[in-house]
Every structure is written in structure tokens, then in C-alpha cells.
Structure 1
Amino acid sequence: MTAPAENAINATTKHMAHPKYRPDIDGLRAIAVLGVVAFHAFPSKFRGGFVGVDVFFVISGFLISSIIIGSLKRGNFSFSEFYSRRVNRIFPALIVMLSAVWIFSWVGLFPGEFEQLGKHMVGGVSFVSNFVLLGESGYFDNSAETKVLLHLWSLGIEEQFYLIWPILLWSAWRLRLSIATTILLATAVSFLLNIIEVKADTTSAFYSPQTRFWELLFGAGLAFFASHAKASKLIASEKMASAISIVGLLLILLSIKYISKKYLFPGWWALIPVVSATMIIYAGPKAWANRKILSSRPMVFIGLISFPLYLWHWPLLALARIIDGDKPSVLIRLTMVFCSFLLAWMTYKFIEVPLRTHSNKKKQTIILSMLMVVVGAIGLATMLTGGFSERSNVKWSNKVLSEFSGPLWAYQKNEICATRYDQPPGVDAYRWYFCYATKNEAPTIVLVGSSFANHLLPGLMKNEKTKHNSILSVGTCSPEVKNSDLPPTGNWPCTGTRIEEQQKIINKAVSSSTGPKLVIISGLDHKTNQDFIDETSRKISAYEAMGASIVIFKPHITMTYDIKSCFGRPFLPAKNDCNFDSKIVEQYEKDFRPFVSQIAAKHPNVKFFDQNKLFCSAGKCSFILNGAPLFRDEFSHYSEYASYELSKLFVEWAKDNDPAILAQ
């Protein structure tokens, strides 16, 4: 995301070269930022609006490379001036936005949320947000909609490009290497890495600089091409230029409407917005669409405020989502978009423009750099103090809020399991995987299933009646998932042959215990079909053949909104009460009945435990028990408190239904 009017300063003999200002490029910025804002506010209507970022990348590559190449030709390229201009363009609006968001969050966010904001502030000011987000992309990662500074990933990509590209171009120039060849090779390598990585790990391809640089390099290639006088002669007429521009603009609009995040993106799909943006810039300011549409006053105005608009819009939408606990209403989202435009205009008018005309650029650069360091230090302190959990406005609720562990779940993996049991091939590339053992000995209780099996672990570990067991949580696939001969999909652990690879490890662990052993199956869907039942039955037969007792935990009720919305914030009462109708439990029971009937008929020794008793008592049901949340995140995973309370119910159930379980 490039600051607007990058090309607005005329070249002088003293300073580095700058291309002549083109209002149509500001108009193209407007198309890009409007697409991004529309996608974030109304993703179902503008599902491909995120391609606006790809358009920004092309613009950035074109303008920055035009400056570098022009300055190298004139012999006055300066690294210090180049990076000083970067600081003066990017830092002012970014500092203001980060400071304002932090102040609001001090009042409005819970400690865990505030802690993550601090972490993302550090990533933002050091321009490595893309790496921070990539490192968080696990199963327990909170949804993107609640990451207040998520949008800074693209700024990270751009700044990483600005760090590497000037050095590479300058080196090629000094060594008298072909600039064209340098650009072509760099573009080809980056694009090839993009195609390879998007199939192996879409998230990595999305956030990694090496798989994104080719988009900026398209702009760089155009800048080099345009720096040659003969380039303009390749467009035979204004009509041809207009046709090129119109086609490019239409393709971008179609991309915003129809490309979906479900596609393998960037991959080949990113070529559409990238090539389209390149076509529009290449067509020149005299092309009809560039002259009449992109250079119109409204489009240029939005283009001029596009950088602060990009910075402001996402935090407002994300904070509204966090506080609301669910997707905000259309009215709230429209209000946030309006406020984004207002704040963007104010930032441009009262911050960017005055600083842009400031005479002492060296002093300004130093002050802005120091302020950015201060903002980063504040973010670091916020992260290291756990979101300033001792704040007076949240201290009263620390015991409750500590249950919202989310991505900080401590029971996903441990060293005992990693060293004692085999690991699936390529497990480090899995988006998530469970391998946690309480003792370095053969297991007596094995938790089998998805994350809804793993979240039973802390309760069983701490319950006086079960903690003596060697408990193992291993694997991540629900039992009904079938193995496939097809290649695995990206970093998803329950695709292709990865299912069978995990099953072999589970079977080996179950069979390794020669004494009494219990297999607990959890995480099944309440809606089943015959294939679902048959596959689960097949695996149950295997466990029984190994001498294991089987208990199936019936599917637990899940929430349709974030449980945090049931707890008031300093300036806002709780939106939800977390109560629900007992008829929902009855419907779950009805849906799951065919499964219970068939499994009980085929496997009469299998027992079923109803974990929904955790939520309901005397006909009343709630996701809160004794004032504490029963889920730790928006994905309906049990909190540690809920896991322990459920273990007590399980122990009482076992006394009446299978006392041998407690004797293991």
C-alpha cells in the first residue's frame, strides 16, 4: 500500500528523479482502495476486493522503480534520500493510526486481545507483519476479522521490497549488468515460487515476500520499459491506448466482483489484476478511461487519501467486530466506512500535507523515526505485560478473562509425545497437529478425534480420579474422515494420505499398552450419514481388536457468536447472555440418534457419554457456568475450566456406567 502522490514532486538537479505526476494513477489507487474497503465491509458482495492490494503492488513497483532508474541514469541516486522519503511518506499516518488504535484498545480490549494488538504493533512498526501473521496461522489462530492490524501485512511486503530492490538495481547498474534481464529473472523466479508455494501452502504464498515480489516487479518492468523513449511508439494511436485501458479497468472490476478467497491465491489468479493494472498504467494519461474516469476529481481525491484510508478502515471494522462479538450490522459497517473516509481526509489534510511541505526533511526524518521507535516500544510493553492485565478497567475480570486462551492453548504438543511417538511425514508443514502425552509410558487413555477431543485433555489431567493415567492426545482427524489416495491439499492435515499416516500412529499407541486402556472418541458431527457411520465403525473395530474399551462423547453444542460478547467491556454492556434453548440439545440428540443406534448394534460394548449436560441444568442451558465461560474462543473449544468441570461429570457417569474406567 503506497502513500499517495508518490510521483507528485518534480525532478530537480539536486534531488533524485521523480516521474511526472499522473492523476490517473491516483484514480487507479482509488479503484484499488475502494475494492479493498468494499471487500472488508461486505465480503459476500465484493468477494474479490482483496485484489486491490495486488493493484497497489503494481503501482508501487512502477513508481519506485521509475524513481530509482531515473536517478541512476542521472547519476544522483542516493540511498539516504530514498529511505528518508519512505519514512516521510509512510510514518506520519502510520504513527497516528497506531497511536489512536492503542489508546482505544487500552479502554476497550480484554488483556488477551490487547496483548495480540501489542504483538502486531511491533510487527507493524518493524514492517514484518506478514511474517508475524504467517507464524500465527495455526488451527487455534483467532479469525482474521478480529486481528486489528491484519492489513499491515501488505505494508510489510512493500517495505521488504523497498529494502531489497534498490540495492539490487543499484548493484546491477554499477556492475553494468542488464537491468531488463535483472527484472525479468527476478520476476520469473518470484512468480515460479508463487506457483509452487500456493499449491503446497496457500497461507505461506499469500504472506511471503518471495511469492509476492513478482507483482511489484511487473510495475518495475513497466517503469524500465517506459524509461526508453521508443516505448511510447508501440501504442499506435490514442484509440489503442483507450482500448487497452478500458480492458484493464473492466478486468479489475470483474476481479473485484468474482475472484474469491476460496481460489488458490495469489497463484495464477493474481495475474488478472496485476496484468490489468499494468495495462492501465501503460496506456498513459491520455487514454479515454484514464482521462475521463480515473483522472476525475472524485477519483483523484480518493486516490490522494488512499493510504490513510487503507490504514484506518480495517481497524475500525475489526474493533467493531470484536466489540459486537459477531459480524456487525450493515448500518454499523457503513458507519465505520464513513468514519474511515473522515479520518483518512483529516489525516491527509492535517498530517500528511503539512509534513510534506516541511522544509527541514532531515530533522523530520529523525523525529518520525524516533516516534516510530516509541510506538514500537509501547507495543512491545503491551505484549510483554500480557495486555496490561492489571489495568483497573479489566482487573476485576481477570479470572474470567484468563479462560480466553484462544491460540495460546497449552495442550497442543509437548516434548514427551514428540520423542516417544512417531510423527507423520512432513508434520512441521501441517497447519495444526496434536501430540500431547502426560507420561512417558504406554497410554491408558487415548483421546481420538479433532480439536474437540484434544480440549478434553486438561480436565482429565487434573481430575483426582483420572490424573494417575497416562493420557495421550494424538492426531487431528475425526474418525469418520476417510483416507484418500489423492495428494494432500496444502498444509491441511486431514487430506490425502495424511489421514492414514496419523491413524497408523494412533493404532500403534493404542496397541502398545498391554494393560487396560480406554479410547475416548470426540469431535464427531451431530449430522451423520451412512459413510460417516461405516468409517467410524471400522476404526472402532480396530480399537476393540487391540483390547481397548470405547467411550464416544456425543457432539457438544457449539456457538454461533463469540463468547466474549457475553461479558461486558468497560464502556459497553454484554451484548449476549449466552443462554440457549434446550430444544437445541434435543435436536442434536435427534440428529445423532441414527449413529448411536447403528454403532450400539454393531459394537454393544461401546458406551456413549452426553457432554451437553455440562451446559444444561433444570431445563436451563447456558455457555456460562458459575460466572466463567465454558468456551475459550470463537470456535467453541472448551476453556480449561469447562474441561475440568466436564471431567467431573464424566467421572460421575463412569461410576454408574463403567466403573472399570476409573480403576485403570
Structure 2
Amino acid sequence: MKFRQDINGLRAIAVLAVVLFHFEPELIQGGFVGVDIFFVISGFLMTRIVLTKLDAKTFSITSFYVSRANRIIPALLVLVLLLTIVLPLVIPIPDYLEFTKRAVSAVLFVSNNYFYSQGGYFEANSQFNWLLHTWSLSVEWQFYLLFPIIVVALNRFMTTNKFIWCFLIAIIASFALGIFYSYTNSSFGYFMLVTRAWELLAGGVVYFLSLKNSEERSKFTEYLGLLLILGSVFFVNEATPWPGYMAILPVLGTCLVLFSQRYTSHITGNRIFQRMGLWSYSIYLWHWPVVVLGQFFDVPYWTFFGLIVSVILGWLSYTFVEKKDIFSYSIFFITNKLTAPIVTISLCVVIVGAYVSGKHYSKLYPEKVKPYIMGLHFYENGIQRYPDKGKVVHINKANDNAPSYLMIGDSNAAHYAYGMAEVDDRHYLLSWISSCLNFPDYTTKPYADWMDKKWLKQCQNNYKTLYDYDELDVILAQHWYKKNGVICVSEECSLNLSLVTYNDFLLNQLEKLVSIVGTNRNLYIVGFVPAPANSVVTCMKKIFNSDCERKSSAFSPERIEINRLLENFSTRFSNVHFIDPFQAVCNDQPVCTTVINDKNLFFDEGHLSQFGSQVMWEYIASELP
């Protein structure tokens, strides 16, 4: 088949969009549409490969699978293997154990399903998922498995010219599902094949249309397609429901460029784009771990250096892995058709072994660091002392004094429990549910498998403990910003909110909460803590001689904005008081201490360690009468 320089140039555009988006999301807000471009290209090429060989009566499903495996798997396995070996020396053990699960899902091409069960693509906790980008490979591989089987079956009953009608029906159905889920379950819509299939099949339709006339189309068609792609890159953003209506822009744009067949285009055919196109798959594989590495160590000017490193690693992977065609060789007595699955299974065994032995890796670290590496400061002796079963628990009950306060919230309330017990002798009642937003009309929208109906019911009822202890002053502490993640209590609905509209929503719910609390007792609203921008263990492990006494000013702007809103709200009521955790470690300065005397205040990017719980609660207790 003739090599298409225009397709190679499109690959370069796609990978540049994705890479620049991940390094500078504020600059290239819609760069994630590069994945949609890749999907259309893959659909076009797979349709061409399958139908061309079917017409020539030379098609073999087994050979097709081997060819696809040889294209995708080797570079992926090399990446996963190297990360499996290196990461125990870099990240906390609990994070590494989670990585091994993600690694298995990636090499088995089910990572899209696994990541869907954990949350959304744009969630804050995704920024340190070293294999997050493999979700798109899983979608493509699942398409590769099903597509030839369906086409071969259809080929028995109709001519290839009639396939286009089947494609169009499937495109409409998948596109409709994509729109539906982008508004009702955005994570499912983003990650799943059923909502992405229309993009791949759209490429197939372009192949059918190109059969009618193989001549080059006008520059206008190509330029219009590129303009649609460029527009989506700069005008689409994370808040855009995806893949919803707007996804048609990059998909249609890619289809127009493919349909134009401009083999000699000065845009897609330039030398730089041709090189980038050849390396695009490997660049895509390596760029995201490079992004995570820079965020993890908070490396200055990482966008500049990271882009260079990503391209170099992509070139190395293309030159020494992709071009070697390693799965075309037989291993001992094993036929080359079995090489890919056997190597993949072997790597899975290695990863599982790494998971089983993972807890022993703490021996590599200094003694003072081990509690942080293993997560002991948070899980074993901290927050899990008070399980989140939706029941009211007593803290300091042994003091024989009556309860002074009722604290409700989520894990952002529970991480204060250790400090309450250690530095305060007052009797507190605590009621909390993990990941639960506590409001009269809304709560957290389930985004993971463990958030079952029982959890949702507990979450909805948690704030109602206000009625059961109506004589106690109330302390409310929770993760205040749930953009794209709230659901009605009374009826099924969801809200996709920008920070501005979320603020209005938050004020409305707080006003209702104040009316429930009444005027005869006080409501203490505890704001966000000044969580660090990256892993707290980075500092503790002294990697690259990092200074554990450094200060961090890289806070989420949403946290600062929400705290300001909560403080302003509290001034409207005589019995509502705002407590700002920033004051405990910032002292009105633009930077805040995250480590004191080699003791970390935080367990992760949002929760306090035992020591941090004590420091923070000492300040909060001083604000309580």
C-alpha cells in the first residue's frame, strides 16, 4: 500500500496537540483532541487493510492480530517494564502497588475500563497516574479485536460497497451514546469503546468515499479540515462535555484532511512533521511519564526540557524497538504468532511479582522515611482509627465531659481526628463518609465501583446528623470543590459546573445548611488545607538532594478561591464562623510550610499526616471557644 505522507503529518499534529496539552494545559486547552485524531486515522487504516485483503482474498484474522500486536505491544511493554523496575526507587510504596495494577491493565489493554472505575481523566488524582495515557491504546486494541470479525461476517452477506450503510448506522448510534454519556456519566463517555467507536468508524467511511475517486482534492478541503482541528485545539477545554457535540470538530477535520489525499501538502508533508509522524506513537508513549516525572519532582522549566526529553525518548523507542519488528521472530520453538501473547503474559507475571514483593521495597529507604513511604501515618494509625461507616463516633469520650461539637464531612474532616485525640481534651462527635459532599440537596456523584448504593445512601444521610444532635455546635469540613461531580439527592440529575457557577451553587447550599443549623447554635466552616502540589514523599526521600525545609506556593487556585468565598459567606451570619487552615502554616505569607523539622504535614496531595493533623488541629482548636 502506498505510504500516505498526509497521514503521517496528521499523526504529527495529533501527538503535538496531546503533548503540548499535557505540558501546558493552560496554553493548549483542547490538545486532548489529538487522541480523537488518532482514532480517525486508525479507523481509516484498519478499514483499508481489512477490505483490501478481503477483496484480494488474502485476509487472515490471525495475521491481522499479529500485525497489530507487532505494531503496538513491543514499545508499550518496554515502557511498562522500565517503569516497573525504576518506580520503586521513586514513588511511595502504596502508589507503586497501585501502579502495578494499572500496569497489568495497560498491557492487557483494559486500562480504559480500570481508569473509568477510578475516576475521570481530568480529575486531580490522575496527574500522577504514570500510565493514564494508555487508555486510548486499550480502546484501539478493543476495536482491533472486534472490527475484523464483524467485517468478515458482514462480507458474507453484502458487498463491501454496502458496508458504508452499516458504518453510518453504527456511527450515529455511537455518537448519540457519546453525547448522552458526556452529560450523564462523563468518565464512561470519555473512556469507553462504545462511545468512541464512531470516531474510528468515521475514518472507515472516509476510506469508502476515497474509493470513488482517488485523485487529490483541492487545497480548500485540506485547509478547512486543518482549520477545524486547529479550532478544536484552542477553543475546546476540559469543561466541554466530551466526546459530545463538539467532538465532531476534530473528527470532521481529520476526515476532510484524509479525504483530500494531499500527498504533497506543504503543511502535512514538511520534513519536521514527517519525522514527528514516524515517531508519534513512541513519543505518545513516553511523553506522559515524562510529564508526571516533572510534576513529581517539581522541576523548574520542565516544559522546555520535558518536550526535548519526550522527543528523544520517542526517537530511541522508534529506532530500537518499533523498527526491530521483534514479534516477527520465533522464540526457541514458539511460532512468531505466539510471541506477542507469551511475552505479554510473562510481563504480567513479572508485574504481579513486583506487586507481591512491593512491601519489602521500604528496606531501601532511611528509617525516618519508612512511615511515609508505607503510608502508616495516615492509614494504620490515623484516619482508619475512626472507620467511615456513616456512624457517629466519639473522640475523647473517656474524659467524662459532655460532647462539645459535632463534626461532619468527608475524609477532609476525618484527617483531623488524630489531632483532636492528641492535642485537645474536649469531647467531639465525628460523622464522616469518604468522598462525600454534605449538603441538603446534593451529594457527590459516584465515580468509582466502590461507591455503591449503600455508600450513596450513607452519603446522602450523613449531613442529617445535624438533626439528631441539634443541641451541639457544628464543625463542617470537606473537599469543597466537586466540579463535574455532584448529583441530586431527591432526583437523578448531575451538574457540570465551572468554578464561577459552582460558587453560586455552593452559596445556595450553604444558605440552606445555615437554616437547618438554626440560630441557636454555631456553625464552624473549615476551609481547604494548603495541600502541596506534588508527592510529599519526594522531599522526604532526599532524591536529587531536595531540601525538606523548602516551602510550597503551588496551590490549586480553586482552593484559594473557595476559601475566600467561604470566608465572605461567614460574615453574613453572626453564628457562622470560617476557620482557615492556611493560617496554621502560612502566617499570611504567599508561601506555606509543608515540612517542619523533617516531619511532613501531608500524607498525599490533599490529606494530612498524623503530624500535620496535630499541627492543624492545634490551630483550629484555638479558634473554637
Shared fold, TM over 0.5: yes
**Equivalent of residue 601 in structure 2, options 608, 611, 630:** 630
Paired residue for 1:183? Answer: 167
Q: Secondary structure at the match of 1:109?
A: coil
Report the alpha carbon displacement of residue 279 of structure 1 after superposing the two structures with TM: 1.0
For 1:199 and 1:530, locate their aligned partners in 2 and report how far apart those are by CA, in whole Å: 20
1:251–1:628 CA distance, 2 compared to 1 (3 A): same
Q: 1:140 to 1:215 in 2, by over 3 A?
A: closer
Deviation, structure 1 residue 264: 1.4
Does the Cα contact within 8 Å between 1:404 and 1:639 map onto a contact in 2? no
Tell me: CA distance 1:171–1:395, structure 2 relative to 1, closer, same or farther (3 Å). Answer: farther
Q: Name the SS of the counterpart of 1:260 in structure 2.
A: coil
SS at match of 2:362: coil
Partners of 1:412 and 1:210 lie apart in 2 by 42
Return the alpha-carbon distance in structure 1 between the equivalents of residues 564 and 148 of structure 2.
65
8 Å CA contact 1:404–1:633 kept in 2: the answer is no
Q: Is the 8 A contact 1:465 1:651 kept in 2?
A: no
- Structure 1 residue aligned with 2:269: 295
- The whole-number CA distance in structure 1 between the counterparts of 2:239 and 2:581 is 34
SS of the counterpart of 1:633? Answer: coil
Partners of 2:528 and 2:410 in 1: CA distance: 13
Matched, 1:232 2:213: yes
Aligned residue runs from structure 1 range 226-375, under 5 A: 226=210, 228=211, 231-232=212-213, 238=216, 240-286=217-263, 290-324=264-298, 328-330=299-301, 332-355=302-325, 363-375=335-347
- Partner residue in 2 for 1:154: 136
Aligned residue among 465, 468, 476 for 1:509? 465
Choose which of 210, 220, 223 in structure 1 pairs with 2:207.
Answer: 223
Distance 1:27 1:384, change over 3 A: same
**More displaced stretch, 249-258 vs 354-363:** 354-363
Partner AA of 1:102 in structure 2: T
Deviation string, structure 1 residues 608-650 (Cα, Å, up to 9, x no partner): 8786786489x99843356432222223x32345336656777
3-state SS of the aligned residue for 2:544?
Answer: coil
- Give runs of aligned pairs for residues 95-494 of structure 1, distance below 5 A: 95-137=77-119, 143-176=125-158, 178-226=162-210, 228=211, 231-232=212-213, 238=216, 240-286=217-263, 290-324=264-298, 328-330=299-301, 332-355=302-325, 363-386=335-358, 388-393=360-365, 397-403=369-375, 416-417=389-390, 437-438=392-393, 446-449=406-409, 452-457=412-417, 471-472=431-432, 476-477=436-437
TM-score between both structures, scaled by the size of structure 1: 0.74
CA contact (8 A) 2:383 2:417 kept: no
Deviates more, 1:177-186 or 1:39-48: 177-186
The more displaced of 309-318 and 375-384 is 375-384
Give the secondary structure class of the aligned counterpart of 2:325: helix
1:522 and 2:494 are equivalent in the alignment: no
Name the CA distance, whole Å, in 2 between partners of 1:28 and 1:292: 12
Counterpart Cα distance in 2 of 1:170 and 1:412: 58
Please show how residues 596-615 of structure 1 align to structure 2 within 5 Å.
Answer: 599-600=573-574, 603=575, 615=585
Instruction: Report if the CA contact (8 A) 2:109-2:142 is conserved.
Output: yes
Letter in 1 for 2:408: V
Query: Greater Rg, structure 1 or structure 2?
Result: 1
1:40 pairs with 2:10 = no
* 1:121 CA displacement: 1.0
- In the TM superposition, what is the alpha-carbon distance from 1:113 to its structure 2 partner? 2.9
Contact 2:383 2:414 in 1 (8 A): no
C-alpha deviation, 1:156, in angstroms: 0.8
Letter in 1 for 2:282: P
Specify every segment of 5 or more residues in structure 2 that has no aligned partner in the other structure, as ranges: 395-402, 449-456, 481-502, 554-560
- How much has 1:193 moved relative to structure 2? 0.4
Identity percentage of aligned residues: 25
SS of equivalent residue, structure 2 residue 474:
strand
Report the residue type matching 2:58 in the other structure. Answer: N
Q: Which amino acid aligns with 2:255?
A: T
Q: Which runs of 5+ in 1 are unaligned?
A: 1-18, 418-435, 494-500, 582-586, 658-664
Name the CA distance, whole Å, in 2 between partners of 1:277 and 1:533.
43
Q: Deviations over 1:331-364 (max 9, x none)?
A: x322222122222222222222232795659744
The structure-2 alpha-carbon separation of the partners of 1:596 and 1:264, relative to structure 1 and needing over 3 Å to count, comes to closer
Q: Which residue identity lines up with residue 56 of structure 2 in the other structure?
A: R
Alignment of 1:51 with 2:33, yes or no, is yes
Q: How large is the RMSD of aligned CA atoms in angstroms?
A: 4.5
**CA distance, structure 2, for counterparts of residue 312 and residue 456 of structure 1:** 39
Counterpart for residue 451 of structure 2: none
Number of equivalences = 575
Indicate the residue corresponding to 1:420 in structure 2: none
Query: In the superposition, relative to structure 1, how do residues 512 and 29 fare at CA in structure 2: closer, same or farther (>3 Å)?
Result: same
Amino acid at match of 1:520: I
State TM-score, norm by structure 2.
0.78
